Structure 1
Amino acid sequence: MTTIYDIARAAGVTATTVSNVLSGKGSVSSATRARVMQYAEELNYSPNLVARSLIKGRTGVLGLVFPSIDNPFYAEITAAMERLAYQAGFRIFVSTFSNGDQTGQKMLKDLALRRVDGVIIFSAAISLDIIHAMALPHLPIIYCLEEEMQACPFPALSYNFFQGGQLAGEHLLSLGHRHIGLLTHMTDEGEYCHVARVKGLQAALATYNLELDSRLVKNGISSVEPGKIVGRELLTQPNRPTAVFATNDMMAIGLMAAAWELNIQIPRDLSVIGFDGIAISRFTTPPLTTIKIDIDRLAAEAINLLLHNIENPLSSQTIVLPAQLLAGASTGPLHL
């Protein structure tokens, strides 16, 4: 393995000069700097990351905590964050678990003990109360995608879920739909971001003096198969809805599969709108109308916020990303 001493011998300079060039420190002439970099490249020099981490007191690793990577939404975020972290000189370590998972809590504490430089936690994975109870005061944390951030002691990044639900409702109402159904993800742990989406839908309905019919509401899990199961229940009941808002794209895709099996044509017989804007939603038949979370922006904001917090600890800062309607072909005017 090439060392700085090999580069120093080849370039005819001291090892200290090579170190200064590679670290960007010290006063080195442009000619010497260019010569050192030339030999570093020719000799295929790779920095000793372990030694560098010991010197800087950093590991060069960022933790990323999700409830699951089964949902393509989290897989897409992982890919985007990994790319951005790498560009900044960091690697990503991914851990998955959900609220109430004792093993998951141990894994998070293990992340801290292994001295990752900071952690990005998605709210569906672990609650603020659990993080507080774990007492990790020296670990930079960014908390993502929780709706109620007022009491969050960490820098936080959220999305206007209420506005997203409102946009979904307004879109369906503008197409003439009044008999609107709902597929949502509700668990004992709360899933507040889904609650906010539902409240947004209810606000849109209220502008038309309408209320959400409890008979047209089905709860499930944010995945295709559960969406298909509860979607079939919704579509086979008397007086089925003419449009459905699914608070997750995966559930919306499951609903569309159930509609196809029941020979219900989309959007002629049923309009469907989802939430998340995952890449696969553009390739459904027809392409899914959805409330898009800008994954690239979310990843960039989260990584930048964490890196800033590592260098300059912040007590609290919240960034809220706006909702965006991404029109597909799964929604259309009401056909009487």
Structure 2
Amino acid sequence: MPTLNEVARHAGVTPATVSNVLRERGRVGEATRQRVLEAIEALGYRPHLSARALAEGRPPTIALMVSSIANPFYPEFALAVENALRRSGRFLIICNTDGDPQTGRAYLEQIAGTLSAGVLVMNANLDFADLRATVRRGAPVVLCMWERPLDPPGLPCVAVDFRRAGELAAQHLLTLGHRRVGAIVGSKVSGIHAARYDGFVAAMQAAGLDGAGAPVRYAPDTTQGGYAATSELLARHPDLTAIFATNDLPALGAMQAAADLGLHVPRELSVVGITDIQLARESRPALTTVAVATIEAAELAVELLTELVEAPDSATGAAARVCVVSAPRLVVRASTAGPRGKR
């Protein structure tokens, strides 16, 4: 495999000039740049990433830590992150923790600062003490899709107003005339979806209903979790006319449960979710949901982390920095309609 020095000799320039051309840095004349590019093409030279990392003192990769790559939202987010990183000449490493803090800690210790210059964290069930220790070791950390913009985590983050998303979902059902609404929360009571449920409860109470007293089930954030929760809710509360789910996967599970129970969606049961993953658009009926700015959040997270990687001295001052993405928006599809009376 040809080396950078061989490219320099072939082009009749110094290795530093070849490096500047590859990194698009420094002042290199157009004729010299073309000569270097022709030498690279003729020799089939490819930069050695490990050598580049050693020379620059940091690797050209960024790690994205997620709790479950099986959740289709995370690949969609990862694709947006990868597209943003590629434009800056960096590469992406995806670390799947399976929601296990010990696995996440191992990734942080083995990858952060060595294989990756910084870490993006997406609901990976990691201890904040471990994340702060990672920052102290010289690898910046940015939290992605933080759910409470008004409650900063003490680490740089990109936040989404998920409480507002919950309000929008509930207000949509209320506008359609639903008053008997069950809720499926895809996390524990104080888990990451708590803000979404808080918004739902607030909207119900604003309409004069007992939002906190509405039938609710806390379930895994999966299609299967939504299926089981919906089956339980309808068995105990057969007068429900709508289901609110804090994420799209449980909402899709709710529609599957309704179908197996012989209920037509939306004629006999309306279902609404949050996020707007690709499956929400492809399901039949297509899922009404509250869309969040996934691509914008990914690009902001990459931008913020890149700043911290390029200027490590600014990491301390950025600890409380919160970047809030555009507001959630309701996307009405075929899974919601007005109630048609008791079943």
Taking structure 2 as the reference length, the TM-score comes to 0.89
**Relative to 1, partners in 2 of residues 1:100 and 1:303: Cα closer, same or farther, differing over 3 Å?**
same
Matches within 5 A, 1:307-326: 307-312=306-311, 313=314, 314-321=318-325, 322-326=327-331
Deviates more, 1:235-244 or 1:271-280: 235-244
Answering whether residue 208 of structure 2 is matched by residue 204 of structure 1, we say no
What's the offset of the Cα at 1:100?
6.3
Find out whether 1:335 has 2:328 as its counterpart.
no
8 Å Cα contact 1:112/1:136 also seen in 2: no
Does the aligned pair in 2 maintain the 1:216–1:240 contact within 8 Å? Answer: no
Residue identity in the other structure for 1:29: G
CA contact (8 A) 1:62 1:116 kept: yes
**Retained in 1: the 8 A contact 2:134–2:141?**
no
Question: Aligned to 2:290, what secondary structure does the other structure show?
Answer: strand
Farther-moved stretch of structure 1 (87-96 vs 9-18): 9-18
CA–CA distance in structure 2, aligned partners of residues 51 and 303 of structure 1? 24
Q: Is the 8 A contact 2:64 2:94 kept in 1?
A: yes
1:84-163 mapped onto 2 (5 Å cutoff): 84-97=84-97, 101-112=101-112, 114=114, 116-132=116-132, 136-148=136-148, 150-163=151-164
Equivalent pairs, count: 334
Q: Which runs of 5+ in 2 are unaligned?
A: none
| Identity over aligned pairs, percent | 34
Deviation at 1:135, TM superposition (A): 7.0
- For 1:90 and 1:70, locate their aligned partners in 2 and report how far apart those are by CA, in whole Å: 24
Q: Aligned equivalents of 1:224 and 1:148: distance in 2?
A: 25
Q: Which deviates more from structure 2 when the two are superposed, residues 26-35 or residues 251-260?
A: 26-35
Instruction: Confirm or deny: 8 A CA contact 1:63 1:119 kept in the other structure.
Output: yes
Q: Aligned to 2:38, what secondary structure does the other structure show?
A: helix
Identify which range, 283-292 or 150-159, moves more after superposition: 150-159
Q: State how far apart, in whole Å, the 2-side matches of 1:304 and 1:135 are.
A: 17
Distance 1:113 1:19 in 2: 23
- Indicate conservation of the 8 Å contact 1:181/1:213, yes or no: no
Higher mean C-alpha displacement, 2-11 vs 297-306:
2-11
- The answer to which of 73-82 and 176-185 deviates more is 73-82
In structure 2, the residue matched to 1:174 is 175
| TM-aligned CA deviation for residue 280 of structure 1 | 0.8
Where in structure 1 are there 5+ consecutive unaligned residues?
none
One-letter amino acid of the structure 2 residue matched with residue 159 of structure 1:
V
Separation in 1 of the partners of 2:14 and 2:133?
51
Give the secondary structure class of the aligned counterpart of 1:236: helix
Q: Is the 8 A contact 1:96 1:125 kept in 2?
A: no
- Tell me by how many angstroms 1:99 deviates: 6.2
Name the amino acid aligned to 1:210.
L
Q: Is the 8 A contact 1:10 1:39 kept in 2?
A: yes
- The answer to whether structure 1 residue 22 and structure 2 residue 25 are counterparts is no
Seen in structure 2, the aligned counterparts of structure 1 residues 78 and 335 have a Cα distance that, compared at 3 Å, is same
Name 1:63's counterpart in structure 2: 63
Equivalents in 2 of 1:259, 1:170: separation in Å? 22
Specify the alignment match of 1:165 in structure 2: 166
Aligned to 1:278: 277
Q: Using the alignment, how far apart are the partners of 1:33 and 1:230 within structure 2?
A: 63
Shift in Å, 1:276: 1.4
Deviation by residue 1:42-72 (Cα, 9 ceiling, x = unmatched): 3322112222111110111211111111211
| SS at 1:145 equivalent | strand
- Cα deviation, residue 130, structure 1: 4.8
C-alpha contact (below 8 Å) 1:166/1:201 kept by paired residues: yes
